[in-house]
Amino acid sequence: MLILPLSIFMTTIFTILIIFRVKTRHMLKYSEKIPGPKTLPILGNALDFGLRHEDYLDRIIQLVKKHLPVVRVWIGPFLIIGVTDPKHIEAVMSSHKHIQKAYFYATLMPWLGTGLLTSWGKKWKVHRKILTPSFHFQILEKFIDVFNSNGDILVQRLSSHVNGPKFDITNYIVTCTLDVICESTMGVSVKAQSNGTTQYVNAVSRMGEIVMLRSLKPWLYPDTLFAATALKRLQTKCLNVLHRTTETVIRTRKLDLLAETRNKGAEQREEHVFGRKRHVNFLDLLIEVSSNSGAGLTELEIREEVDTFMFEGHDTTSSCSLFTLWALAKHQDVQERVLHELRTIFDNTDRKAKYEDLQAMKYLEQVIKESLRLYPSVPLFGRELTEDVLVDGYVFPAGSNVIFIPQMTHMNPDYFPDPEKFDPDRFLPENTVNRHPYCYIPFSAGPRNCIGQKFAMLEVKSLLSKLLRNYKFYLGDPEEKMKLNGELVLRSINGINLKLERRDW
């Protein structure tokens, strides 16, 4: 009785292997010349990463260290080439040909669709061109009041912890950055800090787990198999929260614009907001473009971009802010140097920061950059190659996925001597002038670099400077070691536990 089912199973496996060999013949030819661990049939190296998503980043880093500077693994049918050398990174990242994201970005599409993060080809180029003006410096200047007002709320919320025991500051920072991205680029106040909003934040975190689990478990790739899992049911719940939130933001902004149009008159409204003489914020720009007959964005495309920027705009900046705060708490001498700079800029007054003040925070910017070197907000990203790439004697074959691991690249002693040391002076102008342009990639690089990096730097400067003018930060437990979790953004599994005192400004 078992002979027939067993023969069917073996035939199926054999057929899959034959198809795999045929479809990947070109990649197999070159992958054998790239160092990497032994593989299993069908699964490849999927089991090498363990089963818990919390362990993935450590496993990846250990694997890369063992085979530096290039490592090859197979995850099911996908050839993954991990690179850390700036020359290898530049060969792929600088190219206008290799702009399609790696295979695992497909697991983001139920959430983000084909927004700016996941799209490629003509759609990506058109949307990038449309959205770039919304991050012009003249627009960024107008966000300073939003940074200040939400920073004030954060300072007030933290006051209950003054001289108290250690506490995890993570949720305080995350809700603040969520308020900032919505109020500034979307023109809508979600009051995450005031309302204690956690549903959207939790849904983002859980989606990160789901994406990582699917990315490294080939048996979860087929939608038919994934649909039968508890993970799929969790994803559906998360997507309901995420899409409902972004749809509410879009609907609210449209109603606000309609009300303003009625109050001011359509002609005056168009001149005031959509006039060619000034730029508009991100969501207003999307709505304006969608109203242009024949050339507009669809309702779905608007939601995809809002989903993308609400996620990227709050989660990456919160990660950067959290790890920088932790570094400042650990390195009291660096915290004092930042304070000295702030006292010089503000002349010991309690006035609110202006755009020019944020631009003058040169040392604080060095601190943030050094934090991003050691704790890059996005721990992994990658591209799918459309043609062979020859570099340093290796051939990265067409169809393979080149993965970048910023944390490993940033630890290269050729560019960052004594790389484990936290040293903001690495980013003094005279120390960066001769560095390879692809040895430091926290915001990616090349044509697909982060469109919002200037916005992010201004926001983090505003947030941290306000906190440091009000509080002195200490580690909650100087002996505690962070356990890093690499999902969509870098997180500390055990939180960012700090103590604080009122600052004598």
**What tens digit of pLDDT does each residue of 291-323 get?**
765 556 889 999 999 999 999 999 999 999 999
439 CB burial (10 A radius; 0-12, 13-18, 19+):
buried
Collect all residues with Cβ–Cβ distance below 8 Å to 89 and sequence separation of at least 6: 83, 404, 409, 438, 441, 445
Q: How far, in whole angstroms, is CA 230 from its chain's centroid?
A: 26
> What does the alpha-carbon distance between residue 250 and residue 252 come to, in Å, rounded to a whole number?
5
Cis omega (within 30 of 0) for bond into 69: yes
Collect all residues with Cβ–Cβ distance below 8 Å to 385 and sequence separation of at least 6: 92, 98, 396, 397, 398, 399, 400, 401, 402
Please provide the average confidence, as pLDDT, over all residues in the chain: 91
What's the token pair of residue 383? 């591209």
Q: How far, in whole angstroms, is CA 168 from its chain's centroid?
A: 21
Identity of the amino acid at 247: E
Res 40: pLDDT: 92
Residue 338 near residue 433 (C-beta atoms within 8 A): no
Each residue's pLDDT tens digit, 413-429: 999 999 999 999 999 99
What's the token pair of residue 86? 């700036």
- Annotated binding residues: 450
Q: Which of 332, 329, 313 is nearest to 482 (CA)?
A: 329
The mean per-residue pLDDT over the stretch 432-444 comes to 96
Q: In what order do the strands lie in the sheet with 381-384?
A: 70-75, 78-83, 401-404, 381-384
- Annotated binding residues for heme: 450
pLDDT bracket for residue 279 (50, 70, 90): very low
Question: Can you tell me whether residue 104 is helix, strand or coil?
Answer: helix
What CATH code is assigned to 25-499? 1.10.630.10
Each residue's pLDDT tens digit, 448-505: 999 999 999 999 999 999 999 999 999 999 999 889 998 899 999 999 999 999 998 7
120 CB burial (10 A radius; 0-12, 13-18, 19+):
middle
* CA-angle at 209, arms to 208 and 213, nearest 5°: 120
Phi/psi for 376 (5° steps) reads -60, 135
The mean per-residue pLDDT over the stretch 193-217 comes to 90
Sign of CA dihedral 219, 220, 223, 224: positive
Identity of the amino acid at 177: T
pLDDT bracket for residue 25 (50, 70, 90): confident
What's the token pair of residue 100? 């399609």
Give me the half-sphere count of Cα atoms (radius 13 Å) on the Cβ side of residue 339. 18
pLDDT bracket for residue 385 (50, 70, 90): very high
